[in-house]
A and B are shown apart, each in its own frame.
Chain A
Amino acid sequence: MDEIGGIYQMIVSVGDTTFHLNLTSIGMTWIVIALLLLFGYMATRQSHIMPHSLQLVGELVVGQFYSLTESALGKEKAKTYGPLVVALFMFLLFSNWIGAIPHMQEPTTDLNTPLSLGLMGFVLAHYAGIKAKGFKGYIKTYFEPIAFMMPMNLIGEAAKVISISFRLFGNMMGGSIIILVVSYLIYSLILPPFLYAFFSLFIGTIQAFVFTMLTIVYIAVQVD
């Protein structure tokens, strides 16, 4: 049971400051990126008007998320943000699914990964807001109903990052803890594959979708 809390860290000190590198999540993230690149290469290789199976899957995902982005942001902005949305979903999907392979750990069970992705969405949403409304109009949204509500709006914007990243982290971490505890209780008989299928494949897919949808919604809220 010690493996839940333990994180393998490499501590590098440069001058007075020390950096803590979580080697497991870094390695897993690189594996996920390599798998994504492989998938992209295989899906676009020998592309044909009669698609082969991988090309079909790739076109399905890209088409679905483009249409979701279009329905939220409109046709013009979907061209800008569509690729990012699809890439975010694919990355999260592969990150969550890789936990189903033995001896692999999801990068999302480390809080740093969801938090950095949430911050990325936050910065992107505010950049889109400034670009769409101009700096004055962007500042004006904070004083929206009355000027008195400004602190509430600021806290609300900060809470979005916390909620979106902790939701993903808590789901994946909670799933892996439940898998460990239940496997320990039943001596790893029969049940663990189904637990992995439920928590990694099913919950992971839903959480990747929810994270992507919420990022689109945050961008749409700032743009309108």
Chain B
Amino acid sequence: MSIEGMDLIRSATYIGAGIAMGLGAIGPGVGQGLVGAKACEAIGRNPSEAALLTRTMLVGQAVSESTGIYSLVVAMLLLFVV
């Protein structure tokens, strides 16, 4: 028995969504970790600026997260639209 037609397309979209999400999550993970590490270093050096540093860190992480969000959108398009 072979997989044909619509089933083949469905299985390909599921595999594609999984690959898109898995590979796309690597970059933001590394980036957010780096931002967090640098923010910890900076707070350790200058604890009185902790509030400003935390705010800047959160904004930077949210911006560097965007490539992961694009892969999430692509995965959602593959799952619900195709």
By a beta-carbon cutoff of 8 Å, the part of chain A in contact with chain B is 4-5, 163, 166-167, 169-171, 173-174, 177, 206-207, 209-210, 213-214
Question: Is the pair A170, B73 in contact by a Cβ cutoff of 8 Å?
Answer: yes
Bound together, the chains give a CA A177 to CA B69 distance in angstroms of 13
A166 to B58, CA, bound (A): 18
Which chain B positions have C-beta within 8 A of A213?
A: 59
- Whether A174 lies near B62 (C-beta < 8 A) is no
Secondary structure of the A contact surface, majority rule: helix
Give chain B's interface secondary structure class.
helix
In the assembled complex, the Cα of A55 lies from the Cα of B60 at a distance in Å of: 31
Contacts of A4 in B (CB 8 A): 80
Interface size of B by CB at 8 A reads: 12
Please name all residues of chain A whose beta carbon is closer than 8 Å to the beta carbon of B58 when the two chains form the complex.
206, 209
Chain A contacts of B70 at CB under 8 A?
A: 166, 170
**CB <8 Å contact, B59 and A166:** no
Given contacts A167-B69, A209-B59, 5 further A-B contacts (CB under 8 A): A5-B80, A166-B69, A166-B73, A170-B73, A171-B65
- Chain A CB within 8 A of B72 CB: yes
> Within B51-82, which residues are at the interface with A (CB < 8 Å)?
58-59, 62-63, 65-66, 69-70, 72-73, 76, 80
> B59, A170: Cβ atoms under 8 Å?
no
> Do B69 and A174 touch across chains, with their CB atoms under 8 A apart?
yes
Q: Contacts A4-B80, A5-B80, A173-B76 hold; do A167 and B66 have CB atoms under 8 A apart? A: yes
Q: Are B80 and A174 in contact (CB under 8 A)?
A: no
Closest to A177 in B: B76
The answer to whether A166 touches B66 (Cβ under 8 A) is: yes
Whether B76 and A207, one on each chain, are in contact in the complex, defined by CB atoms closer than 8 angstroms, is no
A173 to B80, CA, bound (A): 13
Instruction: Give the CA-CA distance A167 to B63 in the complex, in Å.
Output: 8
Q: In the complex the two chains form, is B66's CB within 8 Å of A207's CB?
A: no
Please name the 8 residue pairs, one residue from A and one from B, whose CB atoms are nearest each other, closest first: A170-B69, A5-B80, A210-B62, A167-B66, A170-B73, A174-B72, A170-B72, A206-B62
